[in-house]
Amino acid sequence: MSQHSTAPPPTLADVAEKAGVSRQTVSNAVNNPDLLRPDTLARVQDAIAALGYSPNRAARNLRTRVSHLIGVRFTPAEEGTANGLMDRFLHSLVASSAEVGYHVLLFADSDTEPLQAYDELLRSTAVDAFVVTDTYLGAPQAAWLAQRRAPFVAFGRPWADPQATHAWVDVDGAAGAALATSHLVERGHTQIAWLGWRKDSFIGEDRRSGWARVMGEHGLPVAGLAARAENTVACGRASAERLLDEAAPTAFVCASDTLALGVLQMMYQRGLVAGRDLAVVGFDDSQVAQVVPPGLTSVRQPLEQVAVEVVKALQGLLASPPVVQQGVLLSPTLALRGSS
């Protein structure tokens, strides 16, 4: 009960003494309970409970060469955008990995050399594996880690290198955009614009293809109805203005909630009302989509599932022998709100 301020936590030896067994037996009680006779096991477990014993992580890590930590480079949501994926994903990841005895170690990358933080963590055996969340074009992490044969799972496909053999989990962006477009077609729209990202964004082009496919399937026009913009509200607004003036669409499908908010801002300026004068669908189901009046219909990524699959892949990677589970592609859903 009354614990002194700096009393060191009990060790295996303390438990062993209290239970009247050897240290090894206590270790077995913790890691291989089946090996013990029931009565011995019970006695040891009582001692563990009485002392409040928990195995020292550092010692265990040193011995087993396993840290039970997975490293994640934490990139915060950009200010002024509607992007809040990381927050949701991280929570799911923390929860999923806790179930298999893992904790998440967060790190920032050094400004100078972006890969240095990964390297450092790896060489000091501080983490067992990484979860990589930036797989956009030009992000070097995945290739670099693969080359080092460091265990990692990517959230996002290896767009730039389809030959890559590492494990990844991703959400089908084309299917998401198709979902959004189909929804608008069902609502009776025929002039449906696409507001997407720059052409060199693989993710953006993937999502765009979903829009184009559904439009084609319904024999609807796409010429002049697509625009590309930087992923900022201001750029989204500018592009939306141009699209509206030049092609007079009645609905917008956007590659992100941020761009969709550009559309809403444009509409606000022109006195148009979302859901009445124009339909708008975003992508990512951010908090913004959920609360902005009158609610922004948005494609929702199943991040909880993503996290579960990531952890599953991680377990394979860390098993012996390692099992590289290749890509897993999950399907998004559509969160319907007032804007459509």
Distance CA 263, CA 154 (A): 32
Distance CA 227, CA 235 (A): 11
Minimum CB–partner distance for residue 39 and DNA (Å): 7
Q: Contact letters (x/-) for DNA, 15-34, by CB under 7 A?
A: -----xxxxxx-xx-xx---
307 binds a copy of itself (CB under 8 A): no
Q: Where are the beta strands (DSSP E) in the chain?
A: 69-73, 103-107, 129-132, 152-155, 167-171, 192-196, 226-228, 251-254, 279-283, 297-300, 328-330, 333-335
Paired strand residues for 70: 104, 129
Minimum CB–partner distance for residue 300 and a copy of itself (Å): 10
Of residues 42, 49, 50, 62, which one binds DNA by CB under 7 A? 62
Q: State the sign of the Cα–Cα–Cα–Cα dihedral 102, 103, 105, 106.
A: positive
Range in contact with DNA (rule: CB under 7 A) among 56-64, 150-158, 225-233, 274-282: 56-64
Compute how many residues bind DNA; rule: CB under 7 A: 28
Minimum CB–partner distance for residue 178 and DNA (Å): 49
Give residues 230-269 in contact with DNA (rule: CB under 7 A).
Answer: none
Of residues 37, 79, 149, 188, which one binds DNA by CB under 7 A? 37
Residue 67 binding result from DNA, a copy of itself, none, given CB thresholds of 5 to 8 Å by partner type: a copy of itself
Of residues 33, 216, 221, 293, which one binds a copy of itself by CB under 8 A? 293
User: Could you report how far apart the first and last alpha carbons of the chain are, in Å?
Assistant: 60
Rg (CA), the chain: 26
Q: Which is nearer to a copy of itself, 30 or 220 (CB)?
A: 30
Minimum CB–partner distance for residue 68 and DNA (Å): 11
Nearest to 260 by CA among 224, 287, 225, 297: 297
Nearest to 231 by CA among 207, 261, 209, 266: 261
Distance CA 129, CA 71 (A): 6
Distance CA 120, CA 328 (A): 29
Query: Applying CB under 7 A, which residues contact DNA?
Result: 8, 11-13, 20-25, 27-28, 30-31, 35-37, 39-41, 53, 55-56, 59-60, 62-64
Which residues of this protein are in contact with a copy of itself, per CB under 8 A? 3, 5-6, 9, 52-59, 61-62, 65, 67, 69, 74-77, 79-84, 86-88, 90-91, 94-95, 98, 103-108, 120, 123-126, 148-149, 233, 258, 261, 264-265, 267-269, 286-288, 290-294
